[in-house]
Amino acid sequence: MTDVDDTDLRVLQLLREDGRRTYSEMAQEVGLSVAAVKRRVDRLRELGVITGFTVEIDHAKLGWGIEAFTEIRYVGTTGVEEIMRDAAELPEVQTVFTIAGDPDALVHLRARDIGHLQQVIDQLRRSGTVTGTKTLMILGSRSRKN
Amino acid sequence: MTDVDDTDLRVLQLLREDGRRTYSEMAQEVGLSVAAVKRRVDRLRELGVITGFTVEIDHAKLGWGIEAFTEIRYVGTTGVEEIMRDAAELPEVQTVFTIAGDPDALVHLRARDIGHLQQVIDQLRRSGTVTGTKTLMILGSRSRKN
DNA sequence: AATGAAATTACGCTGCG
DNA sequence: CGCAGCGTAATTTCATT
């Protein structure tokens, strides 16, 4: 497959913790030169292991305090591509997961308030071939930090 | 609460697209000086709007091709903190979401293969006060890129 | 209070061994 | 992979509105 060694994994780990880490800092951590670390990161990008870098945002602080998952069921003729396209259009949709079995999709949503959430769910239900939804309200979450 | 203006939002958007963008590049985009953009980013970090930066990884390319959500139900006496702690221990657990109602938690998992996934689910079921699980296998996903 | 310009420091990048 | 040199970016300071 792809040959990624332990040093690559350590570099990835360091970048997961802080995606803006400097090469110099990582070089010290893994005991290589700055150039060597840069070459590894470049290579991981070319391999497609690293798909990008991004900022982590506290959406609640931006006034988007509501978070939910909505399970969606579609009529049997609906294709995966169609599901993805429909749902991923809305700005409130964080991620669309297509699922094997039941439900057909799981959509991660963010909204300003409950009213806004209801509006988004209504839009999802209206779009085409949806037969039903079930929404799970998220109270909190914890991602692995280390 | 927090005053975040349109320029801040544009900077956040630029950092969402590429978390390693230079201040110079963003400065040109938003029509401010490099120093002004840096100060805004620093301020957004202090406000807690920006919680960090990270790398986006194609886990399948690292041999973790299996992705799933597992809904978990607990006995009535189980507290939220306990749920978080138990589940977030495992390295296969990406994120633990606590849910209002039924189920009690939704856990985003990654594993190397189906056998590995089953092993992880068994561990979750064993840990303490779990009364039942239902696992949704993820076939694909699409996050909002723009 | 937030900005831009300038100066200093640090880092990114490339070619060569 | 490391080293070295040059260009670019980050960061701090200072002056301005």
Q: What is the pLDDT of residues A55-85, one digit of tens each?
A: 999 999 999 999 999 999 999 888 888 888 8
Instruction: Say if residue A9's pLDDT is above 80.
Output: yes
Fold of B6-46: Arc Repressor Mutant, subunit A (1.10.10)
Q: How far apart are CA B118 and CA B121, in angstroms?
A: 5
Question: Which pLDDT band, with edges at 50, 70 and 90, does B1 fall under?
Answer: low
Interface of B with A in 110-139 (CB under 8 A): 136-139
Check: CB of residue B57 under 8 Å from CB of residue A16. yes
Strands (E), chain A: 50-57, 66-74, 93-100, 105-111, 130-143
Q: For residue B103, is the peptide bond before it cis, meaning its omega torsion is within 30 degrees of 0?
A: yes
Looking at per-residue pLDDT, the higher value among A9 and B83 belongs to: A9
Gap from B144 CA to C3 C1', in Å?
A: 33
Q: Which two tokens stand for residue A130?
A: 């949806």
Are A56 and B50 an interchain contact pair (Cβ–Cβ within 8 Å)? yes
pTM of this structure: 0.92
CATH code, B59-137: 3.30.70.920
- Pick the residue of B97, B113, B135 with the most A CBs within 10 A to test the interface with A by mutation: B97
Place of tokens 């068994």: B122
Q: Which residues of A touch B73 (CB under 8 A)?
A: none
Nearest nucleotide relative to A30: CA against C1': D1
B28-33 contacts at long range (C-beta below 8 A, 24 or more positions apart): B32/B7
Smallest CA–CA distance, residue B50 to chain A, in Å, is 5
Which residues in A9-24 are b (16+ Cβ under 10 Å) and which e?
Answer: ebbbebbbeebbbebe
Q: Per-residue pLDDT tens for B19-75?
A: 999 999 999 999 999 999 999 999 999 999 999 999 999 999 999 999 999 999 999
Instruction: Give the 3-state secondary structure of A113-145.
Output: CHHHHHHHHHHHHHCCCEEEEEEEEEEEEEECC
* Residues whose beta carbon sits under 7 Å from strand C: A 22-25, 34-35, 38; B 7, 31-36, 39-40
Are A53 and B20 an interchain contact pair (Cβ–Cβ within 8 Å)? yes
Give the pLDDT confidence score for residue A128 in this predicted structure: 75
Report the half-sphere exposure of A2 (CA within 13 A, side-chain side): 19
Domain ranges of chain A: 6-46, 59-137
Residues 6+ apart with CB under 8 A from B100: A136, A137, A138, A139
Q: Per-residue pLDDT tens for B83-135?
A: 888 888 899 999 999 999 999 999 999 999 999 999 999 999 998 799 999 99
Q: Which residues of A touch B15 (CB under 8 A)?
A: 54-55
Q: How far apart are CA A132 and CA A8, in angstroms?
A: 44
Instruction: Give the 3-state secondary structure of B60-117.
Output: HHHCCCEEEEEEEEECCCCCHHHHHHHHHCCCCEEEEEEEECCCCEEEEEEECCHHHH
Q: How far apart are CA B30 and CA A77, in angstroms?
A: 45
